[in-house]
Amino acid sequence: MHLEKLHLSNFRNYENVTFEFSEEVNCIVGDNGSGKTNLLDAIYFLALTKSSIQSQDVLSIRHEEDFMMIEGLFVHLKRELITCSMQRGQRKSILHDKKVYERVNDHIGKYPVVLIAPDDTDLIRDSGETRRRLFDGMIAQINAEYLTDYQLYNRILDQRNGLLKQFAEQNYFDGPLLDVYSGQLLEKAVKINRSRSEFLEGFLPLFKKHYAYLSEDREEVEISYESEVSGENFPVVFRNTQATDIAAQRTTKGVHKDDYGFQLSGYPVKKFGSQGQKKSFIMAIRLAQFEILEQIKGVKPLLLLDDIFDKLDENRIAKLLQNIDDSSFGQVFITDARPERTRKLLENIKREVVYFVPQGK
């Protein structure tokens, strides 16, 4: 699978431009602000129907324009045209060969993608929400049912939280109505918890293998799934916190409170890992993500490497380039603000390497 052609209209800093890519290695080089990261984000958006940068879709529309469109021609057994468009004030539209998807979720995972970005180490520093988003994104590309369950859970959670606030504002309580939302939330929480646990069970061996490769077996690593929902008596615990939820005006327990523990030789990576160890930890997560997607989807995901040469040391760059050269990866996109550095690093790569200057406005 690869992306053969990409057309952008009013996406971020691109007015109207078309790119034709190599199915092997594509280097997007140019000054900062020229649109290198935005180009990768367009590919990510086309594959996953959302930006890797902006939390709101409307922020991807070019300034002072009313609409944006991303159109890509994927080659996967046959050529397939994917179009993502959006008008200000309206919902985005996703089309496959000019036919609107009945459910957008049916598109997620059809064209798997892995992005390695400069701020990935935030996964270690930030809150549990960032790590949940990481793993939820991985599972969603593999399991369409999980994505549906996750979206329903959040919808019910918002409704339950809204009801709890309403109780406080209007000084009343409706126990039977709250029980309806609580029951629905519990049902989805148990399913999501099971899916997250099962995913991590298959993911961990791959992660540990890649970390051992990057670190040359210097230390042991672990990722633990931390969830109160895992306990057999969680339904009872959840019901018993009703008074706490009413006082707090929000749902205080559930899978929206889950976290993933990152450990290095038994200690938290966040506190005790060196910068190099943290980079290896995150790189191993991304490489494992690539491998598990390939195993389950049966195709190599698109690999997007955004400005990584500034963030990795020579040893890690060498190992990554080795994987690129031996075709462990399929189609690769690399951005760099220093073209001469990219050319130097890739000069001995046997695969086809094509260079682009984005020239966004």
pLDDT in tens, 90-120: 999 999 999 999 888 999 999 999 999 888 8
Predicted TM-score (pTM) of the model is 0.93
Rg (CA), the chain: 22
* Domain range for 99: 1-112+299-361
Beta-strand relationship, 25-29 and 332-336: parallel
Do 21 and 72 fall into the same domain?
A: yes
CATH number at residue 160: 1.20.1050.90
Query: What pLDDT is attached to residue 361?
Result: 62
Do 146 and 280 fall into the same domain?
A: yes
Q: Is residue 84 part of a domain?
A: yes
Do 171 and 279 fall into the same domain?
A: yes
Query: What whole-number distance in Å separates Cα of residue 136 and Cα of residue 146?
Result: 9
Domain tally, the chain: 2
Q: Is residue 44 part of a domain?
A: yes
Place of tokens 């649109």: 35
Query: What whole-number distance in Å separates Cα of residue 18 and Cα of residue 6?
Result: 6
Query: What pLDDT is attached to residue 121?
Result: 85
Do 194 and 225 fall into the same domain?
A: yes
Do 282 and 303 fall into the same domain?
A: no
Indicate the residue among 297, 322, 344 that finishes a domain. 297
Q: Is residue 246 part of a domain?
A: yes
Q: Is residue 121 part of a domain?
A: no
Do 157 and 266 fall into the same domain?
A: yes
108 burial type by CB count under 10 A (0-12 exposed, 13-18 middle, 19+ buried): buried
Do 56 and 190 fall into the same domain?
A: no
160-198 pLDDT tens trace: 999 999 999 999 999 999 999 999 999 999 999 999 999
Do 171 and 159 fall into the same domain?
A: yes
Place of tokens 């966040």: 270
Residue ranges of E strands in the chain: 2-11, 14-20, 25-29, 67-76, 78-87, 93-96, 99-100, 113-116, 221-226, 259-264, 267-268, 302-306, 332-336, 353-356
Indicate the residue among 244, 275, 297 that finishes a domain. 297
pLDDT along the chain (361 residues), means of 10: 97 95 95 91 96 92 94 94 95 94 91 91 90 95 94 97 96 95 96 97 96 89 95 92 96 97 94 90 95 96 92 85 90 94 91 87 62
Query: What whole-number distance in Å separates Cα of residue 75 and Cα of residue 1?
Result: 6
Do 146 and 293 fall into the same domain?
A: yes
Do 132 and 256 fall into the same domain?
A: yes
For 96, the token pair is 């496959």
| DSSP character at residue 343 | H
Do 246 and 159 fall into the same domain?
A: yes
Indicate the residue among 275, 297, 319 that finishes a domain. 297
Do 288 and 303 fall into the same domain?
A: no
The neighbouring-strand residues paired with 268 are 263
Query: What whole-number distance in Å separates Cα of residue 233 and Cα of residue 88?
Result: 47
Query: What pLDDT is attached to residue 176?
Result: 95
Query: What whole-number distance in Å separates Cα of residue 36 and Cα of residue 14?
Result: 11
CATH number at residue 74: 3.40.50.300
Q: Is residue 119 part of a domain?
A: no
